[in-house]
């Protein structure tokens, strides 16, 4: 099967995203360097380790002499200072050098942690993303954001560090739990909501085929999402402006994730689903967007089985407002929101009335629409 290639054009930091079936067996073909001469450091988690073991066999067959695997526990709690230290110590014990290469084999947690470890060890060792969740294939593996969480909030310590390549093998999705498939799908929908009404309409028609991982549908959804992300990252690599659009639903979503305690009870993508519905509800309250569009967004997330309100999360409005105030998107003491004039017409603003934000949060916590 032919793979799709999406280019990320960032001058000397440019790279390709390869998307297709069977790519894990052909990784060497998609790398912009000869892997056989490299020391390879594979970072993965305990759920995805079999893919890392397969990859190691293939790399050894391709002539790689040194290829070690660090397997971390799965879950958001792995994006921590402890795991970062563990990864650094493991790399140093194994005499990593600047000609080595780090591979992240896993979802967004491993991609963010491995990428940040690579960016900070020896002041930067190149890395490759092998994303294995839909979320990581359409979002976290692309664009170079890496990092860890702190007790003050998510992703507050990190770096912009672009990978050398992203290799997306859709076969890995066959073992992904359905709930994780859905959570990743929320980030796919996000690209339609931001600036592509036609893609949102396509998802309304074909979302269930994407979720069922039908090959043509999943490939189209992944490629369209990666192209959308490429456009934004190429225009604003370090989030000076436009890149913040990718945070649609995230200001609310991150606060909900913090309230849920990163214990797996609310997945990142589930927070994005609820947060996107809140962003449209706030847009309606502010007279920016029609109720019809907000209803349509809620209905689509609901129809595929994603959560659309925060009623299952035990928290309160003050906690959420406080948490949103600590988000990276706070500038000059003002929270940044991504709101919408319509589906496919999102924009960035700090001009938001806190009373309306409180009202949207209260409504969502009480399960109302
Ligand atoms: P994840 O990495 O925790 O993966 C979800 C779960 O699926 C884990 O239990 C993992 O072990 C398991 N898994 C992964 N691939 C699998 C497979 N193929 N088969 C079976 N199980 C598999 O979570 P995620 O949803 O991929 O990523 C969420 C993280 O990504 C969050 O930390 C979020 O902050 C981050 N993120 C980062 C960016 C960025 O730009 N860097 C963007 C979006 C999200
Ligand atoms: N996921 C948001 C970004 O990459 O900017």
pLDDT tens digits, 299-327: 999 999 999 999 999 999 999 999 888 77
142 Cβ neighbours under 8 A, 6+ residues apart? 8, 17, 129, 166, 226, 229, 230, 233
Burial 265-298 (b: 16+ CB within 10 A, else e): ebbbbbbbbbbbbbbbbbbbbbebbeeebbebbb
Q: Write out the two tokens for 1.
A: 């099967």
Q: How many C-beta atoms surround the C-beta of residue 322 within 10 A? A: 12
Beta bridge partners of 266: none
Q: Which residues line ligand 1 (CB under 6 A)?
A: 45, 47-48, 74-76, 79, 106-110, 112, 132-133, 135-136, 139-140, 143, 145, 154-155, 172, 175-176, 180, 183, 268-269
Mean pLDDT value of segment 82-90: 98
For 4-174, CATH number?
A: 3.40.50.1970
How far lies 100's CA from each of 36, 92, 147, 332, in Å? Answer: 11, 12, 20, 40
Q: What is the pTM of this model?
A: 0.96
Using most ligand atoms within 8 A of CB, pick from 109, 115, 229 the residue to mutate for ligand 2. Answer: 229
Domain locations along the chain: 4-174, 178-365
Return d(Cα 115, Cα 137) in angstroms, integer: 15
C-alpha of 363 from chain center: 27
Convert the pLDDT of each residue in 219-269 to its tens digit: 999 999 999 999 999 999 999 999 999 999 999 999 999 899 888 899 999
Query: What confidence tens digit (pLDDT) does each residue in 179-191 have?
Result: 999 999 999 999 9
Q: Whose CA is nearest to atom 32 of ligand 1?
A: 109
**CATH placement of domain 178-365:** 1.20.1090.10
């Amino acid at each position: 099967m032919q793979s799709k290639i999406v280019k990320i054009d960032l001058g000397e930091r440019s790279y390709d995203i390869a998307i297709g079936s069977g790519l894990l067996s052909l990784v060497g073909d998609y790398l912009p360097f000869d892997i056989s001469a490299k020391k390879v450091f594979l970072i993965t988690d305990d759920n995805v380790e079999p893919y890392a073991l397969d990859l190691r066999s293939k790399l050894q067959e391709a002539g790689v002499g040194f290829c070690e695997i660090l397997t971390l526990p799965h879950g958001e709690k792995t994006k921590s200072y402890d795991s970062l230290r563990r990864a650094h110590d493991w790399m140093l014990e194994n005499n990593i050098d600047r000609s080595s290469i780090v591979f992240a084999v896993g979802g967004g947690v491993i991609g963010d942690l491995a990428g940040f470890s690579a960016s900070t060890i020896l002041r930067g060792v190149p890395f490759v993303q092998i994303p294995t969740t839909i979320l990581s294939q359409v979002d976290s593996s692309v664009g170079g954001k890496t990092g860890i969480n702190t007790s003050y909030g998510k992703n507050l310590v990190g770096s912009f560090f672009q990978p050398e390549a992203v290799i997306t093998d859709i076969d890995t999705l066959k073992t992904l739990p359905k709930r994780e498939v859905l959570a990743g799908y929320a980030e796919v929908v996000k690209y339609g909501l931001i600036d592509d009404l036609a893609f949102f309409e396509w998802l309304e028609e074909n979302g269930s085929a994407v979720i069922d991982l039908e090959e043509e549908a999943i490939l189209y959804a992944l490629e369209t999402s990666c192209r959308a992300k490429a456009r934004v990252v190429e225009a604003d690599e370090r989030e000076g402006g436009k890149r913040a659009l990718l945070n649609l639903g995230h200001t609310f979503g991150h606060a909900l994730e913090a309230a849920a305690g990163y214990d797996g009870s609310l997945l990142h993508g589930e927070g994005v689903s609820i947060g996107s519905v809140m962003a449209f509800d706030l847009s309606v309250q502010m007279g920016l967007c029609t109720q019809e569009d907000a209803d349509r967004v809620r209905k689509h997330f609901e129809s595929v089985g994603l959560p659309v309100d925060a009623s299952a999360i035990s928290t309160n409005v003050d906690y959420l407002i406080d948490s949103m105030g600590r988000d990276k998107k706070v500038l000059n003491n003002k929270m940044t929101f991504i709101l919408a004039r319509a589906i496919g017409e999102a924009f960035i603003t700090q001009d938001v009335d806190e009373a309306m934000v409180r009202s949207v949060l209260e409504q969502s916590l009480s399960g109302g629409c």
